[in-house]
Amino acid sequence: MLKADPGLVVRGLGATLGGRAVLRDVALDVAPGEVVAMTGASGAGKTTLLRAIAGLLPATGTIRAGGQPALVFQQHALASRLTARDNVLVGGLRRIGFWRAALRLWPRRELQEAEACLDRVGLAGLGLRRADRLSGGQRQRVAVARALHQRARILLADEPVASLDPALAEGILSLLRDLARRDGLAVLVSLHQHDLADRYADRLLHLEDGCLRTA
C-alpha cells in the first residue's frame, strides 16, 4: 500500500551557529499543494531554517518530507557562462553523476526533462541562451526549473523575489503558487514583503528570536 505524501513536517528543530542558538524548537507543516510564507526581520534565521530543512546545515529535531527538499536561493546561484538548460541539468547531478555532468554527457532523457522543466516555468525555447544573457526574472525562473529537475516534492525558496521589481516578483510568486496547485508541491517561501505574502500564500508564519509562530 502506498503511503500518502506527507508534504513537509518539522518538529523540535534547533540550530546553533557560532555558539549562538539561531533556531529554537521550530515546528511547522506544509501540505502538498500548499504555499506557506515565512516573514521575519533580516537575521531572524529564515535562511538558516530553510538551509537546515534542505540538509545544508546541521540541526537537531525531526524533519519528515516526501523526498529531499529542493532549495531556490535568493540570488539564483546560476553559472553565468552555462546555458539555461545546462543550469537546469545540474539539478540531476545525483542521478547523472559528477563526471558525466562535468563532461556534459547528458542522457537524452535528462535533456528532454530539463527542457520540460523550462517549459513549466515559462521559458520554453530559451534553453540554449546563456544565463548571463537572461533577465533577473528569467534567471530566477531557471533556478526554479533546476529545483524541479531534482524531482523534489518540497520546494524551499529563500527570498526569491528580493532583487526583482514588483511585476517580476509577482510573476515568480504566481509561478510558485501554480506549481503547488498543479503539481502538488509543498512550497515554503521566505519573504520580506508582507503584502506579497498575504496575496500569494495560503498561510503566513513569522520567525522572531529563533521561534516560529503564526503571523
Chain Cα centroid distance, residue 128: 23
Among 63-77, 114-128, 154-168, 174-188, which stretch is predicted with the lowest mean pLDDT?
63-77
Among 11-15, 60-64, 75-79, 198-202, which stretch is predicted with the lowest mean pLDDT?
75-79
pTM recorded for the entire structure = 0.90
Query: For 135-167, what is each residue's pLDDT tens digit?
Result: 989 999 999 999 999 998 999 999 998 888 888
Query: For 97-118, what is each residue's pLDDT tens digit?
Result: 776 766 677 888 999 999 999 9
CA distance 215 to 204: 5
Q: Taking a C-beta distance cutoff of 8 angstroms, is the pair 120, 182 a contact? A: no
Residues 85-101, mean pLDDT to the nearest whole number:
82
What is the dihedral sign for C-alpha 78, 81, 84, 90? negative
Please give the residue that has the higher pLDDT: either 61 or 94: 61
CA distance 65 to 80: 31
* Helix (H) or strand (E) run with residue 52 in it: helix 46-53
Which position has the grid cell 518530507?
A: 65
